[in-house]
Structure 1
Amino acid sequence: MDSNFSIYTTSLTMESLDIPPSNMFPAFIFGTLTYCTILVFNMTVLLTNVLNQKLHKPMYILLFNMSLNDMMGASTFFPQLVSSILSQNRSITYSACFVQALLTHLYGTGSLLILSAMAYDRYIAICCPLKYNTFMSPNNLMSIIIIMWTLDFTMIGFALALNYCKEICSTKIVDIFCNNPSLMKLICGDTKLNNYYGLFTIAFMQGLSLPIVIFTYIQILITVVAKRQSDAKGKAIQTCGTHLIVFLCLEFNIVFALIAHRFETASPNLRKAFGASVMIFPPIINPLIYGLKTKEIRQNFIFFFCKKVFLTKQKNKLSGLKRQLQ
């Protein structure tokens, strides 16, 4: 490259999607509908939280952050994907690829941190209910959210900064979307520091989020079982079990997708499949499992929807009566 600035206008080529020409249009429709579904699900949770004062509580504020994070992740992945399917063009500028990689990792790390914060909130609510208002006061909640996002932007920002303005010797992105490991493989010089910091980030995030989630849900199950209430016990086991499965699947997919980039023997197709699943499934599953399945959100959404329908009908009736009187 002649100059560092020319790097950002360089055209890169991402891995082929291997979609037969006859399936291009169905794949485009499927991708578009999936993206729209994610937006509808998460916007429903967002608006329900915002428009109902009863839901302005720590659990739902954290859920609000999750929906924002999921929409960011989906918007980072799907628009570029469906446009490349339609145009059959897998090229992307380095600057756009850099932004996509940044947002992709912010989304992945944000998901782990938000789920950890939500697990902590449920632990305090169920295991220490008398101290809930103290531990999850507005000031403490704001501190948790600020620390969560600051840690996310700091860790990921530094990881991407290590690739900033480095000379590249390749224009081939070895993945179906841009991420830090694929950008790192473009660099000409020594990338040991980048690689070590990437591994440190993975280990740090796993060492932070995994123990928190597993410990809190185990404590919740122990507390509920000790109460000897069959209804509460069954509900808690089902809820905690579902949450743990979703969280562990996310953890496994993220770790495998990132670690696989650092081992030449790892299957490229398997790596791409796990990487794509992180971008596709959590934004769909999270609003259903953590949001719309939650009784309070579902009831408030139904109430708000029915109220709007009722007011619209009443408004139409009044308009009809006015026209008749005129």
Structure 2
Amino acid sequence: MSLQNASINVTHFIIGGFDTLSRPIAVGVAILITYLLAVLANMANIMFIISDKRLHKPMYLLICNLAIVDIVYTSSSSPTMIAVLLAGVNTISYVECLIQMCVFNLGTAMESFVLAVMALDRLIAIIYPFQYHTYLTNTRVLVLTLIMWFVAWCFVFYMPATVVPLPHCSSRLKYSFCDFAAIIRTTCVNPEKYFNEVAIGAFFILFFTFVFICLSYCGILLFVKLSSNNEKKKMGSTLVSHLICVIVHYCPAFVRVIFTRFGVVLTLEERQGLVIGAVLGPCLVNPFVYCLRTKEIKQKLFKIFKKFHTYD
């Protein structure tokens, strides 16, 4: 039977990733709470930075961009998962599914790009503190941010361009939302070729940004060796927040995208958990890390709480 005869006209997809879940309500409530906390925390970071002119500096513009990426990233899939688990709405239109796939992968790519640029920011700030504002200006950071978004969109554009021409033999998604792997598995073609192509693109983004971050850390550590103990403590503190964000993003990403192409076999449940953790983990951790470890933002929070306490 030819592909044309076997294929079906898909207008909606059925999300079947949670069909075997024993406690969908509990998982849905957990995802909902995590999602709301992540969005509110990231929005608070953005508002703090926008409202305070003293924070209109390269480092805070990068934190603000990371918060925007986190909101986009977690909002790409969390509402769909919450709707499936708590409201029982397990269908999504074909066009909405493609948009969700694009936004999800855009968020994945942008997380890597932003963390790499933030590593560069810390490298320049520590090694060239007096020339920092010469090398990194607000204008240069904004231009760099626009370039990152453009490159990420170029990478993501491959996915709908690949999926749309393919015939579909099923309208049921195996996973919990519309990512590339879920949609490709509904087509009438062998998915391995497409998985390998996307894995190569993802590998370049993850590998080169991760290597760049590691090289930046090596440069900082070599410089720290020559510094005094007080300077070492201060520099170490500035790196901890970034290091936490790097670990939370790259560990599940490498397992999900790279290691599975080299023989690591995951069950459907393990892959589901890994994807959900990869979406919600960084988006929840990043804003709290930078709120608690960035002096200016922490001071602003204390002032707000003190003001509310005074009114009480």
Q: How does the TM-score come out when normalised to structure 2?
A: 0.87
Q: Which residue of 1 aligns with 2:188?
A: 188
Q: Which residue of 1 aligns with 2:93?
A: 93
Question: Percent identity between the aligned chains?
Answer: 22
Rounded to whole Å, the distance in 2 between the matches of 1:213 and 1:17 is 39
1:146 aligns with 2:165: no
Code of the aligned partner of 1:195: F
Rounded to whole Å, the distance in 2 between the matches of 1:222 and 1:280 is 34
Rounded to whole Å, the distance in 2 between the matches of 1:51 and 1:40 is 16
Q: CA deviation at 1:244?
A: 2.5
Q: CA deviation at 1:61?
A: 0.5
Rounded to whole Å, the distance in 2 between the matches of 1:87 and 1:304 is 37
- Give the aligned CA root-mean-square deviation in angstroms: 2.7
Q: How do residues 205-224 of structure 1 correspond to structure 2 at under 5 angstroms? A: 205-224=205-224
Q: CA deviation at 1:193?
A: 5.6
Q: CA deviation at 1:143?
A: 2.1
Q: Which residue of 2 aligns with 1:34?
A: 34
8 A contact 1:155–1:201 mirrored in 2: yes
Q: CA deviation at 1:75?
A: 1.5
Q: Which residue of 1 aligns with 2:55?
A: 55
Rounded to whole Å, the distance in 2 between the matches of 1:211 and 1:24 is 39
Rounded to whole Å, the distance in 1 between the matches of 2:182 and 2:260 is 8
Code of the aligned partner of 1:80: T
Rounded to whole Å, the distance in 2 between the matches of 1:309 and 1:50 is 24
Code of the aligned partner of 2:249: L
For the residue of structure 1 that corresponds to 2:97, the secondary structure is helix
1:173 aligns with 2:173: yes
Q: How do residues 277-316 of structure 1 correspond to structure 2 at under 5 angstroms? A: 277-304=277-304, 306=306
C-alpha distance after superposition, 1:258-315 (max 9, x if no partner): 34665694332222221111111111100111334211111123335555776x79xx
C-alpha distance after superposition, 1:20-71 (max 9, x if no partner): 3xx4444333332222211221111010000000000011001111111111
Q: CA deviation at 1:5?
A: 11
Q: In structure 2, do the counterparts of structure 1 residues 170 and 25 end up closer, same or farther at CA, with 3 Å as the change threshold?
A: closer
Q: Which runs of 5+ in 1 are unaligned?
A: 314-326
8 A contact 1:63–1:291 mirrored in 2: no
Q: How do residues 2-151 of structure 1 correspond to structure 2 at under 5 angstroms? A: 6-7=9-10, 9-16=11-18, 18-20=20-22, 23-151=23-151
Q: In structure 2, do the counterparts of structure 1 residues 19 and 182 end up closer, same or farther at CA, with 3 Å as the change threshold?
A: closer
8 A contact 1:73–1:103 mirrored in 2: yes
* Bigger radius of gyration among the two: 1
8 A contact 1:15–1:172 mirrored in 2: no
Q: CA deviation at 1:99?
A: 1.6
Q: Which residue of 2 aligns with 1:316?
A: none
For the residue of structure 1 that corresponds to 2:302, the secondary structure is helix
8 A contact 2:126–2:235 mirrored in 1: no
Q: In structure 2, do the counterparts of structure 1 residues 62 and 270 end up closer, same or farther at CA, with 3 Å as the change threshold?
A: same
Rounded to whole Å, the distance in 2 between the matches of 1:171 and 1:259 is 27
Code of the aligned partner of 1:34: T
Q: CA deviation at 1:108?
A: 0.8
Total equivalences in the alignment: 307
Rounded to whole Å, the distance in 2 between the matches of 1:305 and 1:43 is 17
Q: CA deviation at 1:239?
A: 4.4
Q: In structure 2, do the counterparts of structure 1 residues 57 and 93 end up closer, same or farther at CA, with 3 Å as the change threshold?
A: same
Q: CA deviation at 1:199?
A: 2.1
8 A contact 1:73–1:104 mirrored in 2: yes
Q: CA deviation at 1:17?
A: 5.4
For the residue of structure 1 that corresponds to 2:178, the secondary structure is coil
Q: Which residue of 2 aligns with 1:323?
A: none
Q: CA deviation at 1:241?
A: 4.4
Q: CA deviation at 1:79?
A: 1.4
8 A contact 1:49–1:60 mirrored in 2: yes
